[in-house]
Structures are given as C-alpha cells and as structure tokens.
Amino acid sequence: MTKKGIAHFYYNPFFLLAISFVIVAFGQKAWSPFLTFFASFIGYALFFKGATDVKFQKKVFYLFFAWYFFVQLFQLSWLTSTKYQGNFILIAYVGMAIFLALQFALSSFFIKKKSSFLSLMAGSAILVILEWSRLFFMCGFSFNPIGLTLSWHHIPMQLAAIGGVYFLSFWVLLTNLLGFKALEKSKRYALFWGIAAIFPYFFGFLHETWHEKKIEQSESLSVILVQTALLPEQKAPMENYFKDFISPIVQWERIFQMIQNEAKSKVDLIVLPESALPGGAEVCFYPYELAKRICEEYFDRASLPIEEPFVQERNNAFFASNSFFAKALANFYQAEVVIGLDYAKKQKNEYFNSAFYFSPNELTQRYDKRVLVPVAEYFPLEWIKNLAKEKYGISAAFTNGKEPKVFSKKNSLAVSVCYEETYGYLIRQGRLKGGELLVNVTNDAWFHNSKLYKQQFNHAILRAVENGAPLVRSCNTAVTSAVDCLGRTIKSIDNENEARGLHALVPKYNFATLYLVWGDFFVLGLSFFFLALYIILRSFSKKKKF
C-alpha cells in the first residue's frame, strides 16, 4: 500500500469513528486506564474529525447522538443488573443513555469542519453546562462527566483542585477540540494541542511536590474500615431468599472479629458501611442477655451501655438495639465510630437513610442522606409509586436530609452516604462547614458483579482532590479505602467479595483548594462567558453581513 493509500485508510471517517468509539467507550479507569489516558486528549478528537468528514453533513446531529448513545450503553452497563431492581431498570438504562446522547449531540451545532476557535470554546462550554445541569434533574445524575478521563492517574487529576470535575471536562473537551483542528493539518493548533495535553501533568507534578512534605510530616489517624461483603438477601430477609439470610447477631460477631483482627494498636476511628445491619439504629429487638454475652466475648463489661436508646425494657424483659453494639465499640476502643443505619421518626411517618456517629465522650449524632435514588429510596412520580407497590411490593420511601453535618470536635468528620459522594458541591458543603476528613459509607451490593463500585470510587477520589482533604470510605462490597488529600490511595480492598477489616494510617493534612473557595462557579462562569461571547459575535457578524 502506498503512503497515500495508508493515509487515506487512517483518515477514513468511518475508521476514525470506530477507533474513537473503542477509545472513549472503554476510556474509563474502571474499564481500561490505558484507553482512558488516550481518551483524555485524542479519543474525542478522532470522533470530531470523523464526524465532520462524513458526506451526510446535514444529519451530523444524528451521528453525534448515535455514537454517544452506544458509548453510554457501555459505560452505564452496570444499570443492566436486574436481580434486585427487576426489568424496570432496563428502561432507566436506555432512557439515561438517550438523555446523555441528546445532550452530547447539541455540541454538533458548534463543532464543524471550519469552526473558529471561539466556536470550539462554545462547544466545550455548552457540554460542561449540560453536564452540570444533570445534577438537578430529579435526584440528579452525576456519573460519566467527560473530565473523569483525567482521573486515570493521580497526577493529571490534580487539576480538579482548581475548578472541580467539570473544569476537568472543560479541559478534556478543549484539548480534544484542539486535537481535532490539528488533525485538520493545522500546525498552529498542533502546538496548542500539545500544550493543553501536557499541562495537567505539569500542574499535577508541581501541585503534588508542593504538598508532599507537609503530608509526610502530618499527624496520622489510625482508622479501621469494615467491608462486610454481604449481598442484600444475606443482610436482610428477602422473599425467595430466606435461606440466605444471616442473623444480625451473627453479622455483629463477624464485624467484631474483623475489627479485632486489625486493632493491633490504638484506634482513632472505626467506619462501617451504609445500612450496615437490618433493623435500623434505635429499634431494640436483640434480647439483651444474648447481646451482652456476644459483646463480652470481645469487650469488657464496663464498655456496654445500659441506657436508652441503646437498651429498652418491654414486658419485664430487656432488649438492645444496633446502637448498643456501635456504642460498645466506641467505648471499648476509645474510638469514634461512624456507621450507616436506617432511622425512623414514626410520629411524623418519616424514614431516613442515615450515618450515625458514636463516641465515648460525645452525644450520638446523625446525618441524613440528602440525595436519594429514585424508586430504590424515593418515588419521584405518583405512577412510579403505584408501579413499585403493585409489581415489587414497595410502598415505603425515605425522606431527604436537609443539611450537611460535621461530626466530632476532635477530628472534624464530614460525612456522606453512598451516591452523594459523586456530587462535588455537596461534599464541598461539608468541607466548608469545618470538615477536615471526608467519611463516606456506601452499599453498592445492589449492583453486584458490575462496574459500579469502581466507577463510584473514581468519583470519590476526585472529591479528595477538589477539597484538599483526606477521605476514608467503608463499603459493603468495595472499594473500601483510605485516600490522602491528593487523591492517592493509601490502602484499599478492591475485591467486592472480600469480607475483612482494613487498618490504615491516614495523614490528617488538609488544605484549602481553589475549588473549595469558588466551587463550580469558576468553570460555569468561564463556560457562560465563552457561550455568550460566541452568540454575541455571531449575531453581530450576521447583522454586518445583512
């Protein structure tokens, strides 16, 4: 094949569309860090080049839509888990892919073969604004921002300290659009493309170098994180799965053993997953004598609480709650304990998915999850509520929490529950309230054997970078981990089927980032500026021609 023939093959639009699809569809760290690296600076560029070279330019909107729709079908494949959600989840899966593809296709109005630099900037801006807007649709959808491609390694993702994950999206899109123009054989754009591609690594290296010694000299917290690795039917009784259910008292014994195996020295903080045990926080249903006997195998008798809501008398018999065990843990290890448990305000008919804080010296505190998952935790529409009741027998729903909470006068723990950690602005609120250590409790077992737990972890480490604060997360089924303030993993349990405790020494060093100061306002202001400038100049140009 001649050089001209080879060049024609590689610049064939359909070849570019195919190769870009492979790079971008699998360009998430959960799928392939190698392809994620390429997606961050050339994956989308190849698509833009191929899409603008095809002959049917009048239908390029549909090409943008179709390409991104299939990309999302791969990246959202965790939504095909029907074991617990039923086939209804498949409607949500396809619907979400369509919704994201429509948003992406809007950029086709700005990204054309002869687009000006300002038009390319406007194309980046509109996609970033649309990504951010997803946070406020129903419960919000925070997964799969384009900027996540820079999280393939901890050095380039330091750029999130400036403007958060949506600034990463802006940068990735800008870099790829410069690459698109460079592929149009423009040497001038090739230089800017190279600079844009290298800058996150240059900035990240300097950023990490600046904070490295301070992290090394920082005081550390001794933390034990528990991963119970229980499936929903093992944790709580479920129809058709009763034989798999593990008694809550046995679940507590497993937890005590896991913690005991790791507690070789002083422990400052113990964290257990979201909805760690059935029965909620304050419902007293364990026979007290049985609960006391189990605890005395691991703790001394003086550690056991005896007052309400830990213990309650009914019909001349005493019963203990899950809070009884959590408080006993805190007392015995002289440590702070954070655990996910449900909570009910029966007089108001309100139910919360909560994280509780126990300490030997402080009163029990509670944080209520603010971002609830549709159908699984709340019903956004009446017809969905009726469908859930008729098809799946689900009639109860959780109530949204109202505010961020920071636990502990000593260590300032900013707590989040599960899906919330994918929302940068929510985690920032806890940090602004004084939180110095981010604590997350999660249960991804509802999507077992999928990519969800890895994708959510990629969001989690970005929260540490955005806020300049270390993070610990306890998950029912991985990734249970400790991360420093630069988003670097200290220790983790990566296998979702592994049940054990994880002991880690977490540097307490934290610092104020630019994102902490201005949040998403910086990248949104930048995006609206370029979009407005493009619209104004385009309108002025049309009037001048007229």
pLDDT tens track for 173-193: 999 999 999 998 778 889 999
Of residues 403 and 241, more confidence is placed in 403
Give how far Cα 484 sits from Cα of 208, 222, 451, 470, 481, Å: 11, 13, 23, 4, 10
Nearest one of 335, 339, 225, 331 to 277, comparing CA atoms: 339
Residue 392 has pLDDT above 70, yes or no: no
Q: What does the pLDDT read at residue 345? A: 85
Handedness of CA 53, 56, 61, 66 (dihedral sign): negative
User: Which has the minimum average pLDDT: 17-31, 239-253, 428-442, 502-516?
Assistant: 239-253
- Token digits of residue 73: 């079908």
pLDDT tens track for 224-253: 999 999 999 999 888 888 899 999 999 999
Q: Side by side, which strands form the sheet with 437-442?
A: 406-407, 413-417, 437-442, 471-475, 480-483, 489-493
Residue 546 has pLDDT above 50, yes or no: no
Residue 6 has pLDDT above 50, yes or no: no
Q: What does the pLDDT read at residue 134? A: 92
Q: Which residues contact 279 (CB under 8 A, 6 or more apart)?
A: 248, 285, 321, 322
Residue 139 has pLDDT above 60, yes or no: yes
Q: What does the pLDDT read at residue 215? A: 96
Q: What does the pLDDT read at residue 224? A: 97
d(CA 107, CA 177): 11
Instruction: Compute the average pLDDT of residues 82-100.
Output: 88
- The CATH T-level fold of domain 220-276+334-511 is Nitrilase/N-carbamoyl-D-aminoacid amidohydrolase (3.60.110)
- Domain layout of the chain by residue ranges: 3-214+521-545, 220-276+334-511
Give CA 342 to chain center in angstroms: 21
- The overall average pLDDT reported for the chain is 90
Give CA 42 to chain center in angstroms: 25
d(CA 478, CA 474): 8
Instruction: Compute the average pLDDT of residues 492-496.
Output: 95
d(CA 66, CA 76): 15
Q: What does the pLDDT read at residue 84? A: 82
Instruction: Compute the average pLDDT of residues 73-94.
Output: 88
Q: What does the pLDDT read at residue 5? A: 46
Helix 521-545 vs helix 160-183: crossing angle, to nearest 10: 40
Q: Helix (H) and strand (E) counts for the chain? A: 18, 15
Q: What does the pLDDT read at residue 164? A: 96
Q: What does the pLDDT read at residue 369? A: 94
The enclosing H or E element of 437 equals strand 437-442
Q: Side by side, which strands form the sheet with 311-314?
A: 286-287, 317-320, 311-314
pLDDT tens track for 94-137: 999 999 999 999 998 888 888 788 888 898 999 999 999 999 87
Give how far Cα 388 sits from Cα of 87, 384, 544, Å: 12, 6, 58
Q: Give 246-315 as a 3 state SS string.
A: CCHHHHHHHHHHHHHHHCCCCCCEEECCCCCCCCCCCCCCEEHHHHHHHHHCCCCHHHCCCCCCCEEEEC
Give how far Cα 261 sits from Cα of 328, 363, 441, Å: 17, 28, 21
pTM: 0.91
Cβ contact 193:172 at 8 Å: no
